[in-house]
Structure 1
Amino acid sequence: MNRIHAWMLTTAVATAAGIATPALAQDARPAAKPAAKAAAPAAEVSTVGDGELKKLIALSFHSKGPATLDGVLQQDATQQACSQYPDRTHVPEAVAKKIEAAEIKQVKYPADGKYLGDWKEGEKIAQNGRGMQFSDPVGGVNGANCYACHQLTKAEISFGNIGPSLYQYGKLRGNSQAVIQYTWGKIWDSNAFSACSNMPRFGHKGILTEQQIRDVMALLLDPASPVNQ
């Protein structure tokens, strides 16, 4: 259980038991008087495990469309391992190497050897943040929402900075076979190269189709793409 889950569950359990959380206790306390005695120690909430947390989530979350309860509760080995650390900078080197070694085996490269699609379609995918939400149709087309974390072009001025800038990605790196295969692998399964990465495992988790990945590859590597201008 990570610290965010623990905080959520502790708050929920405390509320159900009638125990005030620190913020609520402060709001409910009357104004302090000069002669008042020291306040009694706050009541402690027992530590809870993953089982209790899953029960709480199951009671408050209902499957709808592509957003399912199993999708929230079920974790693969990598997700379980990464959930033990507050962020990727705290993952021990030995654990990181084990995760990367396991994930690199799951990268599926295109059988026909064609890595690049249409960069114009890739730009649409990069701009699209829809997909896998309860309001989306089951089996619908997902976007990659690349601009939420990366800069890609000069024309788009609204972008996030959680990930590195990808502007001039291909111009700076070239289009050698090594670069092409690395880029494909990074999009397919980011954890293969950076354990517990914030980047989604687009191919491994079936978020993007193989053709969509080809189009995003073209956006990054095609010399005609606005990324490389």
Structure 2
Amino acid sequence: MKKNTPNLAASAALALMVALLLAGCASGPTVAELDALTDRIVKASFRTQGIANVERVTATDETNRACSEADASGQRLDEKKAKAIEEANFKSIQWPSDGKFVGDWRQGEAIAQNGRGLTWTDDAKMANGGNCYNCHQMDKKEISYGTIGPSLYNFGKLRGVTDVNSPEAKAMLEYTWGKVWNAKAYNACSNMPRAGHMGILTEEQVRHVVGLLLDPKSPVNQ
């Protein structure tokens, strides 16, 4: 019978972190030192398996880096930096290639209620879910939903979208698409995944989720 053996590299990194914390208890380690130690622990503890690549855990961009540093320091990102991050992320939004913002709300509901995808047991050929239910309420009939994000019930109705094809709906269509595609374009350190930007959802899937949120016939707007 094979015994479980400790990950020595991870243990050593943890021991080093504890020693650093104890040695510098008066002022504490710098963000850079904590980042370096965290990177070592992650690389020592995670491995690539199936479609789950360890680089997805270790890789970061300027947006995540800046927000993580602000969070670690206990201070909010300064307004100028936040605005620059939002502008950069807004420029990265890919708008509908065919100009069509709204898809089938029924498919959007299935995507929103699906939390599968991107784990080592998942098939790369299968579409990912949006996992929206894990943070938002979308339907009054739901008895289980997350509260990290605001309720999306009546999302379109509260914003006056009664006809998705009307000129008046254009601004809300663009905002909703952009928010789903890359939430950090509107809130630099948003906890919402950048579904389109990070390749979690395809363009077609984003279109269906927008339909779920804005189509007057969707259960979201009943």
TM-score interval for Structure 1 and Structure 2 normalised by the shorter chain: 0.7 to 0.9
1:107–1:15 CA distance, 2 compared to 1 (3 A): closer
Q: Per-residue displacement from partner, 1:143-192 (whole Å, max 9, x unpaired)?
A: 11111111111111211111111101111113310000000000000000
Q: Partner of 2:5 in structure 1?
A: none
- Which piece of structure 1 moves more, 127-136 or 51-60? 51-60
Please point out which of 39, 42, 55 is paired with 2:40: 55
Matches within 5 A, 1:1-20: 12-13=14-15
Q: Partner of 1:161 in structure 2?
A: 147
Q: Partner of 2:172 in structure 1?
A: 179
In 1: Cα distance, 2:36 partner to 2:83 partner: 29
Tell whether 2:86 aligns with 1:107: no
Q: TM-score, normalised by structure 1?
A: 0.79
CA contact (8 A) 2:17 2:37 kept: no
> C-alpha displacement at 1:59, in angstroms?
1.4
What residue identity is the alignment partner of 2:188?
Answer: A
Q: Partner of 2:193 in structure 1?
A: 200
Q: What percent identity do the matched residue pairs reach?
A: 48
Matches within 5 A, 1:29-68: 43-44=22-23, 47=29, 48-68=33-53
Q: Partner of 1:138 in structure 2?
A: 124
Please point out which of 97, 105, 108 is paired with 2:83: 97
In 1: Cα distance, 2:18 partner to 2:56 partner: 26
> C-alpha displacement at 1:90, in angstroms?
1.6
What residue identity is the alignment partner of 1:13?
Answer: A
CA contact (8 A) 1:9 1:53 kept: no
CA contact (8 A) 2:93 2:181 kept: yes
In 1: Cα distance, 2:119 partner to 2:100 partner: 31
Q: TM-score, normalised by structure 2?
A: 0.81
What residue identity is the alignment partner of 2:51?
Answer: P
Q: Partner of 2:62 in structure 1?
A: 77
In 2: Cα distance, 1:126 partner to 1:92 partner: 33
SS of structure 2 residue aligned to 1:90:
coil
The answer for unaligned runs of 5 or more in structure 2 is 1-9, 162-168
In 1: Cα distance, 2:11 partner to 2:150 partner: 33
Q: Decide which structure has the larger Cα Rg and report it.
A: 1
Please point out which of 182, 185, 200 is paired with 1:189: 182
CA contact (8 A) 1:66 1:139 kept: no
Q: Partner of 1:28 in structure 2?
A: none
The answer for unaligned runs of 5 or more in structure 1 is 1-7, 22-42
In 1: Cα distance, 2:136 partner to 2:75 partner: 19
After superposing on structure 2, the runs of 4+ consecutive aligned residues of structure 1 that deviate more than 6 Å are 8-11
Provide the alpha-carbon RMSD of the alignment. Answer: 2.7
In 1: Cα distance, 2:108 partner to 2:94 partner: 19
CA contact (8 A) 2:183 2:194 kept: yes
The count of aligned residue pairs is: 199
In 2: Cα distance, 1:136 partner to 1:183 partner: 28
What residue identity is the alignment partner of 2:88?
Answer: A
What residue identity is the alignment partner of 1:44?
Answer: A
Q: Partner of 1:150 in structure 2?
A: 136
Please point out which of 212, 220, 227 is paired with 2:213: 220
